[in-house]
Structure 1
Amino acid sequence: MVNGILNIYKEKGYTSHDVVARLRRIVGQKKIGHTGTLDPDAEGVLPVCLGRATKVCGMLTDKDKTYETVLLLGRITDTQDITGETIEERDVSSVAEEAVISCIREFIGEYDQIPPMYSALKVNGKKLYELAREGKTVERKSRRVKIYDIRIKEVSLPHIRMEVDCSKGTYIRTLCSDIGEKLGCGGCMERLLRTKVERFALEDSRKLSEVERAVQDGRLCEILTPMDGMFSDLPKITVKKQYAALAYNGNPLSGKQVIAGEIRQPGEQATAGEAMQSGKQTASGGKADCTDGQVRVYDEEGRFIGIYRSSGRDRFRPVKMFLDPEELH
């Protein structure tokens, strides 16, 4: 079984489920999962997890993301993007470029966003887009999202091209709609390109055709990110050989049963013990992450066992296990 993460470039016209179905045929295994949906007309980075790496799907879904989008002012649609039915068109000739830029910048920070009806969120067990297709509109609770930054790339009214860094759960088409509403002229999303999910970047992504060629040439491992690559910002410890069976089966470990490794952070190095004493780990890119006391655990053969957390009492307790003991026999 192939284990690892592929940085897929999702092309226009594919759903995230389509990508998974294609990869199952290409790779020849069923255990594959994606890390969050992209609309069929959206393009860009879609990390896909294979084999035991499917255990990190939820972790990647929760990560911050970066998008490049084009906002079209003056058009309001039922889906908040260009693919929907036009509800209203408004004149934007009186909208000034300075007012647009100022308005967009006001959305940087936290704000309460109401999820669109055309989304996969469920209400009473039914997806919102299914209700929308039946002509139904239901009340949705707003959700607090965070816009870390918006970089305006080009203004050619009524079009604005911008790059958005945001938290999980942010709908870019809703952001576009909200900007248009605040300007008083309405707006919708014309294009969406996801350029980054955690450490997976657009420039390193692969189209399905490229993956297929890699499989045919026996080079799949060259484009596959190993599971422990997702946690390279965490300190590494190695369980001593005589205690490896404890770790394989997800048992707690004591400090005497492990060998401390090193943590690598930008501009500094520290032993795992020092890092855990300070309690200051940072995720790649310099943003604080919930790595609080977490470590990568390996056996002396170099096999990645899982993620443990230090309890502060010279003890380590399992958080997520990635090694299947049955595969050792």
Structure 2
Amino acid sequence: MSIDGVLNVLKPPGMTSHDIVDFVRRIYNTKKVGHTGTLDPDAVGVLPLCIGRATKFSSYLMEHHKRYRFEITFGISTDTLDKSGKIIETGPTPSFSLDELRKVINKFKGEIQQIPPIYSAKKVRGKKLYEYARRGEVIEIPPIKVTIYELDIVEYRKPNHLLLDVKCSKGTYVRALVRDICKELGVLGYMSFLIRTESGDFTLDNSYTIEEIEEGKASILPVDTFLKLPSVVLDRHSSSRILRGQPVENIYNIENSQVKLYDGHRNFIGIGVAEKKRIRVKRLF
């Protein structure tokens, strides 16, 4: 019996996202497993995985916002911008007031331009940036647009440690955010801690540890639960046409939108595109 759905894993430190994928493949004896956004090996937190036929819809889950809690340690910079890298410089750590910190932090709210870290899997000219870094090659990295919806101070332990919460769009590099905040403050710093607390509807509260998964205590949930799209229930004739890849008449008062498609028994059968007169298939489950 095939397993199809989404598993919310609480990633521990020291494992790569690919390690988690391999672990889940072994536990559930399936090759079809994919993550919905990587976490660095040192990072912990929410890592939703799509299993079986749910992997066809992983790109939709990647669109969700993310929340992180992270710590900046001042006075030291590393080549990777986090604690896994080599120390490349040290310097003084001035004591900031909370007002000074908030003034700088507020500059990063909203849509911003961000240069991805050189030690990242972002592809430029067909190669991952870390490949250039490991070869010592200098390359111009084009900026990307990301959105910082919320950015708040949790705790400031003078003078070295600043703990923050951020809600951001997909593709945001928290390490790059740390780098840019430190640059604006005029102080060295690196990301010394990172936990992803939320990815769309996936939170720490509904995640499962490696141990719980091994013990069979984890729940795999239907992927359509997490697709933020209007629903259309089709009759038997329309369901049959959709499953053959054929369009159906749009009588559902929904236009210019992707929709979740269900048969008469409320079984999820895929995603369609609702146009003015018809609904055509986009992706079948």
TM > 0.5 fold call:
yes
Write the distance in 2 (CA, Å) between the matches of 1:307 and 1:127: 32
Task: Give SS of 1:110's match.
Answer: strand
- Once structures 1 and 2 are overlaid, which stretch shifts more, 66-75 or 54-63? 54-63
Write the distance in 1 (CA, Å) between the matches of 2:257 and 2:175: 37
Q: Quick check: 1:245 aligned with 2:240?
A: yes
2:163 to 157, 161, 164: 161
Structure 1 residue 24: Cα displacement: 0.8
2:266 to 302, 310, 319: 302
Structure 1 residue 125: Cα displacement: 2.6
Q: Quick check: 1:316 aligned with 2:267?
A: no
- Give the counterpart letter for 2:52 in structure 1: G
Structure 1 residue 115: Cα displacement: 0.6
What do the CA deviations read for 1:118-168 (whole angstroms, capped 9, x no partner)?
Answer: 000123332211221222231100111111111211111221111101111
Q: Quick check: 1:35 aligned with 2:36?
A: yes
Write the distance in 2 (CA, Å) between the matches of 1:135 and 1:236: 51
Structure 1 residue 53: Cα displacement: 0.3
Q: Which residue of 2 aligns with 1:208?
A: 210
Cα 1:237–1:95 shift into 2, 3 Å: closer
What do the CA deviations read for 1:235-266 (whole angstroms, capped 9, x no partner)?
Answer: 3222211332211122111146xxx5xxxxxx
- Give the counterpart letter for 2:273 in structure 1: R
Give the aligned length: 283
Write the distance in 2 (CA, Å) between the matches of 1:204 and 1:150: 23
In structure 2, stretches of 5+ residues that fail to align are none
Q: Which residue of 2 aligns with 1:184?
A: 186
Q: Which residue of 1 aligns with 2:151?
A: 150
- Once structures 1 and 2 are overlaid, which stretch shifts more, 101-110 or 25-34? 101-110
Task: Give SS of 1:224's match.
Answer: coil
- Whether the 8 Å contact between 1:69 and 1:192 is mirrored in structure 2 is yes
Write the distance in 1 (CA, Å) between the matches of 2:200 and 2:244: 30
Runs (4+) of structure 1 exceeding 4 A deviation are none
Structure 1 residue 173: Cα displacement: 0.8
- Give the counterpart letter for 1:44 in structure 2: G
Task: Give SS of 1:225's match.
Answer: coil
In structure 1, stretches of 5+ residues that fail to align are 261-272, 280-291, 323-329
Structure 1 residue 20: Cα displacement: 0.6
TM-score, structure 2 normalization: 0.94
- Whether the 8 Å contact between 2:61 and 2:226 is mirrored in structure 1 is no
Structure 1 residue 50: Cα displacement: 0.3
Task: Give SS of 2:245's match.
Answer: coil
Please identify which structure carries the higher helix content.
1
What do the CA deviations read for 1:48-83 (whole angstroms, capped 9, x no partner)?
Answer: 000010012222223211111001122211111122
Write the distance in 2 (CA, Å) between the matches of 1:179 and 1:242: 58
Give matches, 1:1-329, under 5 Å.
Answer: 1-157=2-158, 158-214=160-216, 223-231=219-227, 233-255=228-250, 273=253, 276=254, 292-313=256-277, 315-322=278-285
Task: Give SS of 1:106's match.
Answer: helix
Structure 1 residue 94: Cα displacement: 4.6
Write the distance in 1 (CA, Å) between the matches of 2:70 and 2:282: 36
- Give the counterpart letter for 2:40 in structure 1: D
Task: Give SS of 1:174's match.
Answer: helix
- Whether the 8 Å contact between 1:74 and 1:180 is mirrored in structure 2 is no
- Give the counterpart letter for 1:226 in structure 2: P
**Considering only aligned residues, what root-mean-square deviation do their CA atoms show, in Å?**
1.7
- Whether the 8 Å contact between 2:34 and 2:50 is mirrored in structure 1 is yes
TM-score, structure 1 normalization: 0.82
